[in-house]
Amino acid sequence: MTTIELDERGEVDIDSIDDGLIEDIRKFERVLARYLDGEIEEDVFKVFRLANGVYGQRQGGRNQMLRVKAPYGAINPDQLDRLADVSERYSRGWGHLTTRQNVQFHYVQLEQVPSALWDLAAVGMTSREACSDTVRNVMGCHLAGACPNEVLDIQPWAEAAFRHFLRNPISARLPRKFKINFSGCVTDCGQAMFNDVGVIAINRTRDDGTTEAGFRVFVAGGLGANPHPALALEDFTPREELLPTIEACVRVFEQAGNRNNKLRARMKWLVDELGFEEMRDRIFASRKFLLASATWPGGIPEQVREAGDAPAGRGTGPVSAIGQGVRVSLSGTSAYARWAEANVVRGVANGTVSAIAWSRLGDVTAAQFRGIAELVRSTGATIRITNRQNFVLRDLAETQLQEVFDSLEKLGMAQPGAELARDVVACPGADTCNLAVTQSRGLASAIGEALESAGLAEVDGVRTNISGCTNSCGQHHAADIGFFGAERRAHGQSAPGYQMLLGGYIGNEQAEFGQKALRLPAKAAPEAVVRVVARYAAEREYGEAFGQWLQRAGGAKAVAEGLADLDEFPTPDDNPDFYVDYGETGPYEAVVGESECAA
């Protein structure tokens, strides 16, 4: 048997690893050796490194972030165990779940990356094209296949798209990154409305009165410093035409995207440069003749034929899901009852029960990875990573919920209100990212603590997202309350600050981006969140979503008037803490490195 030596822990059986993964890693080993020997220039190696999911940190040297793909959030117990091993062996003893359903490990030394890749490949995981100008991790609703409202189970469709574009020559060296997202109904928990291609399952009525399930494809959406809502490509895309439609979008972007200016290179800018009608005509023309291509993916994909895509629920139309503006009444008196009210979602057609496990700041320790793996095995559940940096256990029975709660409580992952007010989302920020100017993770932690202290952590229907710069890796534009980091000047000194936004919402085929409220010192932002959440909780009418309340309250600027006193910096002598960022010990300094764009 041919094996590859790892270390004292044993060997990896190469025969059990996919041929594509083997070649990916062997090539990485060859190129890395040449780079370390000085045979490959830095800029060339950087492009190669990023295409393999390895991203430089602001700490410099050999410190790297390794991003591991989990297509549509899918992951299994063996992979969870291996992620625990990777976190201990190469990183800091914990991993980070991202808003795009990846798992990231920081402080991985460059020379150790190949060994980490072999470890991951042994359980079928890859970092290939998790970064760089490629088709990134294909996302999907984390409740797909277990949702009471879905029209189609999008899991096999997302799997088919992932496999089709992985190592596909047309998608590996694009003008810029390209993001694909699937949602099983117009509630859009998968957040299709701000992606380069967003796919939402819908029904249409045929002329004979029968119903056909298919898709509505949205294109050219994006966040970043200039957010764009995605636009509907056509009213209805039949199932047989879905993958050809997505490939046609990628091809048009590859041909027409701006390769000279990365700041104007995303697909959203093609709408400005070509006009939407011209871009749409090019996509349709590409799709029409795609049959002649060797990569034509038409018809029903093999993954869909084998797994089926029948919905778990009734598919009757848009509804609110946990965290999507729905009222969740936490009336229980016991910890279990409150958890069951806030964190459990029930299917309809197949009787599935799902439970969300809370990961504070998206961080998962090695012990938690292993504990979740054990729980999945003992219950026979399936598991997905959510786009709010949590886990959801699916395919449970009602009789298993107490066992699930007890296990999660031991792991510190059973807090009620996962994906509600207590669930603050943040990008890595200045902890590791070259572009961030503030410690967004530190602010997220401070906001969570402030909400807990104020008794507001379990307020439902409100979400807070934070980015350490304008690039929206923390998706601040799409949250009810959003923040992005910015340097402030006060009393002649630099200080950490944030722009606060209010009213972001994604769902029901709409994208409402948060509106600017006011700028704040970083140390005043937690109090601002407490005030806004408290006012929302006190003033909202029954069933009223945050955006509806905000509109009734006069909008972002009107609500900001009640926060104006917080936008004041004391002098450095009166309160030096305002001039030190969260988690730091010295005076604040906005340090921005060379962009490798991890978003």
Taking only the tens place, the pLDDT of each residue in 538-597 is 999 988 999 999 999 999 999 999 999 999 999 999 999 999 999 998 899 888 766 675
pLDDT for residue 12:
60
Q: How many CA atoms lie within 13 A of 453 on its CB side?
A: 11
CATH number at residue 260: 3.30.413.10
pLDDT in tens, 320-368: 445 444 445 566 679 999 899 889 988 665 567 999 999 999 999 999 9
Same domain, 228 and 276: yes
Same domain, 399 and 449: no
Look at residue 587 and tell me if it is in a domain: no
Q: State phi, psi for 319 to the nearest 5 degrees.
A: -140, 175
Domain of residue 494: give its range: 425-579
CA distances from 414 to 37, 357, 361, 411, 482 (A): 49, 6, 14, 8, 25
pLDDT in tens, 414-449: 998 777 898 999 999 988 898 899 999 999 999 999
Look at residue 137 and tell me if it is in a domain: no
In the structure encoding, which two tokens stand for residue 575, read together? 């309160």
Same domain, 490 and 561: yes
Same domain, 407 and 434: no
Look at residue 141 and tell me if it is in a domain: no
Look at residue 226 and tell me if it is in a domain: yes
pLDDT in tens, 509-547: 999 999 999 999 999 999 999 999 999 999 999 889 999
- Whether pLDDT at 479 is above 50: yes
pTM of the model: 0.93
Residue 314 pLDDT grade (very low, low, confident, very high; cuts 50, 70, 90): low
- Whether pLDDT at 9 is above 60: no
Same domain, 46 and 182: no
pLDDT for residue 328:
54
Q: Is 505 exposed, middle or buried (0-12, 13-18, 19+ CB in 10 A)?
A: buried
Same domain, 553 and 458: yes
More confident residue, 585 or 138: 138
Smallest CA-to-CA distance from 503 within 477, 528, 474, 535 is with 477
Same domain, 27 and 74: yes
CA distance 316 to 306: 25
CA distance 82 to 122: 9
In the structure encoding, which two tokens stand for residue 125, read together? 């995981």
- Whether pLDDT at 273 is above 80: yes
Give the number of domains in the chain: 4
Contact 429, 485 (CB under 8 A): yes
pLDDT for residue 317:
44
Single out the residue in 384, 411, 438 at which a domain terminates: 411
